[in-house]
């Protein structure tokens, strides 16, 4: 296991780093302690003291982190409504968060690098994504929760911290408890929007997104509240008469007049019908200071790096975000949060996974971080907004000129690995992170960035073999909802490569993504998808719009227009495909280099009541090859059969071995994972050929 260079003991290294960090501050500018207290409620050995290679035994710390934010510090200037939050006697705004840390119990065995996972909706994904653990356990305690121990064997300090105020009310989820914003003369009021794609008839809907906490309506009978229904994403809205729907308290049996009643449910006479999109615009009051989530993630790594008495001290910090929290990290960089209150660099590296071109509702008045604005759900929330590239561009329509890094001090930019799947190009406008605003030319990443397109994969992993219940065709060529291409192998390799890079021990692998210049990035209408009977590529693609949320949006982070007005869309593009329909650009996995089928990153809403030609959120499609030429001809499949590609199972497995050697060479597969890949390939062959 690699260690930090230098002969100083770790405590001395930390002291030297702190000295230079303090010396670098402006004269007269005091160092701040934004983390004022860490309360450990539980400290225990992991798996009874099991040894993890040269890292030794690990310990788990669980508890609370207490913060104090200075509203006058320039590092906090972008936190919306911070000036209206209550202050303590020192003039600070307080908040606290749940946390969990895993670190080597013996300080001398710690690598000195923190792996900070920005928790997706309060959960913990790193052990599942990188350790190949069976689940993302909220409190990992069983052997299976730790998988093969990849991150622990590296001696990393793993940190999870709550940053999101609206996570669901479930045991074990991490939450940030933030104050409410109120004017000196009374409450702050504003517009809030909730929407639903209803796929099954239901009587009552929750105002929160996917069981998340919601902002309560200010009143049960506000005449300005509007409930609408429409039949499709861009279909005209029809106002539902006010006397046919009503609001309900959050708890069953709670009376509307009861103290602290939260009006966070809505009922409709006759019920909400499948196939419709419903949208509710209402007034609420006392918004949370949502943007403190960005500051909390900043301050926890600064505490670990710079606080002499830190309970989990490190020299370097790497952040990991997936999907929602990948977008969070893009937002974090966009608003300059990688510089802390003391003027010091927060994170040294970031792995931003499946964020596409998005940011999110992470720092505006009445922000709902849970809202993700997909193609056919949670429509038009402030997620896919200009700018998209890190390099500064000018939008000729709006006149805005900026880049993702415009607000960040250049010397504090981390090394960033972006990893996106094919789904993000179809469902999250990912091409915009490396193309010009008009979609006419490629934009190269900056020196501190690498972009890796994980070709043909869906948003997150899926099971193999596919479930017969997911089969989308009863006869003819089998088509399965869910794409089983395995993302874990390239992610494991890139994660360790990133840690080595921030330590200065290795260089990043070159970017690998589709490009306009070589013809591998094309409009979706230019996709050369094979004419497989019963399978057609989507006629739609997720688009990012120029969106008008009202006059105070860009300057104050306040939404005055709900729903927003849509302007022209930015062009979204996708990777071109080969003769089997697999994507040609980016990081092509062993499944694509030795194919047994077509791995498609998109899936249509087949079987739903409405929107059947729209994209299914997150999902891809798997279309196995025919086994024999006779079967292929009978089905009219234009793709080659398995027997035409491989004379035998041994030939196929040798092709897989060649693929693993290439992937190891290029930095997208760990040498120790090559054997596991061949074992998986053996099982997949048996299933394909009917021997499994």
CA distance 421 to 586: 9
CA 96 remoteness from chain centre: 23
Map residue 519 onto helix, strand or coil: coil
616 token code pair = 């299914």
Nearest to 629 by CA among 616, 619, 643: 643
Q: pLDDT value at position 198?
A: 98
548 token code pair = 């008008």
pTM: 0.94
CA distance 518 to 388: 21
Per residue in 504-533, pLDDT (tens digit) is 989 999 999 999 999 999 999 999 999 999
CA distance 293 to 250: 25
Cβ–Cβ < 8 Å for 674, 590: no
Q: pLDDT value at position 31?
A: 45
Map residue 206 onto helix, strand or coil: strand
Q: pLDDT value at position 319?
A: 98
**Domain assignments of the chain as residue spans, ordered by start:** 1-182+288-314, 189-285
Q: pLDDT value at position 9?
A: 33
Q: pLDDT value at position 12?
A: 35
Q: pLDDT value at position 461?
A: 82
Residues of the chain with pLDDT under 50: 1-31, 259
Write the burial class of residue 186 (CB in 10 Å: 0-12 exposed, 13-18 middle, 19+ buried).
exposed
Q: Where are the beta strands (DSSP E) in 472-572?
A: 480-481, 521-523, 545-548, 565-569
CA distances 177 to 91, 211, 328, Å, are 18, 18, 18
CA distances 457 to 427, 510, 557, Å, are 12, 20, 35
Q: Where are the beta strands (DSSP E) in 404-514?
A: 415-421, 449-454, 480-481
Nearest to 595 by CA among 485, 461, 470, 453: 485
Nearest to 489 by CA among 422, 575, 581, 587: 587
Q: pLDDT value at position 26?
A: 38
Cβ–Cβ < 8 Å for 139, 46: no
Nearest to 23 by CA among 314, 306, 336, 315: 306
Per residue in 609-623, pLDDT (tens digit) is 999 999 999 999 999
Q: pLDDT value at position 5?
A: 32
Q: pLDDT value at position 19?
A: 36
CA distance 489 to 660: 10
């Amino acid at each position: 296991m690699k260690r930090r260079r230098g002969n100083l003991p770790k405590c001395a290294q930390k002291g030297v780093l702190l000295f230079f960090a303090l010396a670098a501050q402006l004269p007269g500018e005091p160092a701040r302690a934004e983390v004022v207290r860490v309360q450990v409620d539980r400290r225990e050995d992991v798996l009874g003291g099991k040894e993890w290679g040269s890292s030794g035994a690990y310990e788990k710390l669980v508890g609370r982190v207490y913060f104090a934010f200075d509203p006058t510090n320039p590092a906090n200037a972008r936190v919306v409504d911070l000036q209206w939050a209550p202050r303590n006697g020192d003039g600070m705004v307080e908040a606290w968060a749940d946390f969990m840390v895993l670190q080597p119990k013996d300080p001398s065995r710690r690598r000195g690098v923190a792996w900070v996972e920005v928790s997706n909706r309060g959960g913990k994904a790193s052990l599942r994504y990188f350790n190949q653990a069976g689940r993302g356990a909220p409190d990992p305690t069983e052997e299976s929760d730790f998988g093969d121990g990849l991150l622990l064997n590296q001696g990393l300090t793993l940190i999870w911290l709550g940053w999101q105020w609206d996570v669901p009310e479930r045991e074990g989820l991490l939450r940030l408890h933030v104050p409410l914003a109120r004017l000196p003369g009374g409450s702050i009021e504003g517009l809030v929007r909730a929407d639903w794609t209803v796929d099954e008839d239901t009587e009552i809907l929750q105002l929160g997104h996917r069981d998340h906490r919601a902002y309560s309506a200010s009143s049960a009978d506000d005449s300005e509240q509007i409930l609408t229904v429409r039949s499709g994403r861009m279909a005209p809205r029809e106002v539902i008469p006010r006397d046919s729907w009503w609001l309900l308290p959050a708890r069953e049996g709670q009376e509307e007049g009861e103290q602290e009643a939260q009006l966070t449910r809505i009922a409709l006479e006759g019920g909400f019908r499948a196939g419709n999109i419903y949208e509710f615009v209402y007034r609420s009051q006392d918004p949370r200071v949502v943007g403190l989530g960005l500051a909390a993630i900043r301050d926890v790594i600064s505490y670990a790096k710079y606080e002499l008495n830190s309970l989990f001290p490190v020299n370097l910090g790497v952040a990991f975000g997936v999907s929602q929290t990948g977008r969070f990290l893009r937002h974090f960089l966009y608003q300059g949060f990688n510089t802390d209150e003391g003027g010091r660099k927060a994170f040294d590296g970031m792995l931003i996974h499946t964020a596409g071109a998005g940011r999110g509702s992470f720092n505006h008045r009445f922000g709902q971080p849970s809202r993700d604005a997909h193609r056919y759900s949670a429509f038009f929330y402030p997620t896919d907004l200009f700018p998209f590239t890190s390099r500064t561009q000018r939008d000729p329509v709006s006149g805005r000129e900026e880049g993702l890094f415009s607000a960040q001090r250049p010397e504090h930019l981390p090394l960033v690995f972006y990893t996106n799947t094919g789904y993000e190009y179809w469902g999250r406008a990912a091409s915009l992170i490396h193309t010009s605003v008009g979609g006419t030319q490629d934009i190269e990443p900056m020196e501190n960035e690498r972009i890796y397109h994980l070709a043909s994969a869906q948003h997150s992993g899926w099971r193999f073999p596919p479930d017969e219940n997911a089969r989308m065709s009863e006869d003819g060529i089998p088509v399965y909802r869910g794409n089983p291409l395995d993302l874990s192998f390239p992610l494991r390799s890139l994660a360790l490569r990133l840690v080595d890079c921030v330590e200065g021990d290795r260089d990043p692998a070159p970017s690998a993504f589709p490009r306009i210049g070589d013809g591998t990035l094309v409009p979706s209408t230019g996709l050369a998808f094979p004419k497989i009977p019963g399978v057609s590529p989507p006629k739609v693609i997720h688009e990012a719009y120029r969106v008008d949320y009202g006059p105070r949006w860009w300057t104050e982070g306040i939404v005055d227009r709900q729903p927003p007005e849509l302007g022209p869309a930015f062009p979204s593009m996708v990777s071109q495909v080969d003769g089997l329909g697999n994507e040609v650009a980016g990081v092509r996995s062993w499944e694509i280099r030795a194919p047994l089928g077509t791995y498609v990153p998109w899936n249509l809403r087949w079987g739903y009541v409405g929107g059947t030609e729209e994209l299914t959120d997150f999902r891809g499609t798997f279309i196995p090859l025919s086994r024999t030429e006779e079967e292929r001809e009978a089905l009219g499949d234009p793709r080659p059969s398995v027997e035409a590609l491989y004379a035998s199972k041994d030939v196929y497995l040798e092709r897989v071995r060649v693929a693993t050697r290439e992937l190891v060479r290029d930095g997208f597969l760990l040498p120790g994972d090559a054997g596991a890949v061949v074992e998986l390939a053996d099982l997949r062959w048996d299933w394909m050929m009917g021997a499994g």
